[in-house]
Amino acid sequence: MLQISRLFVYPVKSLGGISVSSALLTDRGFQHDRRWMLLNEQNIFMTQRDYPQMALLQTNITESGISLFHMDDIHERIMVPFCVSSGTRLTVQVWNDYCEAIFVDRKIDEWLSRKLNVTCRLVYMPDDSIRKVDPVYSVDQSHITSLSDGYPILLLSQSSLDDLNSRLESPVPMNRFRPNIVLAGADPYEEDEMAEFRIRGIQFFGVKLCARCSIPTINQDTLERSKEPTKTLATYRQKGNHIWFGQNVVYSSGGVSLKVADRVEITRRKERVL
């Protein structure tokens, strides 16, 4: 039986993610997922591609906000409020998209800059900031996303990772690929075929395979870089100039919490292209 085996939320773009037992679908992805983002001194958004040390900053969802801590000192923490309604607004760019964001707090900026050893500022995406999914891949024009790379949900199956690891000398964990939903009971790469599927009455649409960047080559615990798993993925998951692993997903409506062990029903398949 196809079902959810793991769920992940990534509150701050490119910082550590959180494994959760349930996650509420909102209009732009899971609740709290990538609603915060770091900007450098040039107001350019920051990711592990250029700042791999971001991987060592971890997040935790508490009753009062998002707790941030560094893996080298888990006891020194700073709290980020759930919602920022006032403050200096600015237009931020995420790849080719522009949307509104709010600076969060100068003290948080100073803490983050010290931990990352680079000057940065934290911004929050308020509810009235709308960023639409690429219309080429959106099912309709109403689909929006947060400060993710482009889509509200990333889907990956455990069997796909297991197949990859069977080809590697040293297996890699799921956190290299930063999915939101992990499937159990699927064939390797079956998520490629999932054009439409249902979970808890919500219709999901697999709209675009995920083109992988350099982040999977970064060990999320040690920051060590290597050519793997990209080198091996390139031998069987490359088409054109991209390596594909996972499926980007949009959905019909929010307001429902997905839970680990929820059944997943595929309602329409598409031809696998890899």
CATH code, 185: 2.40.33.20
Residue 140 predicted with pLDDT over 90? no
pLDDT in the model for residue 203: 97
Mean pLDDT of 158-185: 98
Last-in-domain residue among 95, 124, 153 = 124
Question: What is the count of structural domains for the chain?
Answer: 2
pLDDT in the model for residue 7: 98
- List pLDDT tens digits, range 179-195: 999 999 999 999 999 99
Quick one: 179 and 248 in the same domain? yes
178 vs 11: CA distance, rounded Å: 12
Mean pLDDT of 5-9: 98
16 within domain boundaries: no
pLDDT above 70 covers a percentage of the chain that reads 100
Query: In terms of residue numbers, what domain contains 227?
Result: 3-8+133-269
Picking from 39, 52, 43, the residue whose alpha carbon sits closest to that of residue 214 is 52
Task: Specify the 3-state DSSP secondary structure of 4.
Answer: strand
C-alpha distance from residue 51 to each of 13, 113, 211, 222 (Å): 12, 12, 20, 13
Last-in-domain residue among 106, 124, 142 = 124
Mean pLDDT of 220-248: 97
Quick one: 57 and 149 in the same domain? no
- List pLDDT tens digits, range 121-137: 999 999 999 999 998 88
Q: Would the CA dihedral through 100, 106, 110, 111 be positive or negative?
A: negative
Quick one: 148 and 73 in the same domain? no
113: amino acid identity, one letter: S
Quick one: 67 and 45 in the same domain? yes
Quick one: 84 and 198 in the same domain? no
pLDDT in the model for residue 83: 84
pLDDT in the model for residue 92: 97
pLDDT in the model for residue 85: 80
Quick one: 142 and 237 in the same domain? yes
21 within domain boundaries: no
36 vs 18: CA distance, rounded Å: 14
23 within domain boundaries: no
Quick one: 204 and 117 in the same domain? no
Last-in-domain residue among 102, 124, 146 = 124
Answer whether 211's CB lies under 8 Å from 247's CB. Answer: no
254 within domain boundaries: yes
Residue 155 predicted with pLDDT over 90? yes
pLDDT in the model for residue 174: 98
190 within domain boundaries: yes
86 within domain boundaries: yes
Quick one: 101 and 154 in the same domain? no
Quick one: 137 and 237 in the same domain? yes
pLDDT in the model for residue 269: 98
Quick one: 152 and 223 in the same domain? yes
What is the pLDDT of the chain when averaged over all its residues? 96
Quick one: 56 and 165 in the same domain? no
Write out the two tokens for 201.
């009455």
171 within domain boundaries: yes
- List pLDDT tens digits, range 63-117: 999 999 999 999 999 999 998 888 899 999 999 999 999 999 999 999 999 999 9
Quick one: 151 and 246 in the same domain? yes
Mean pLDDT of 215-228: 98
Where residue 270 falls among pLDDT bands split at 50, 70, 90?
very high
Residue 273 predicted with pLDDT over 90? no
DSSP 47: -
62 within domain boundaries: yes
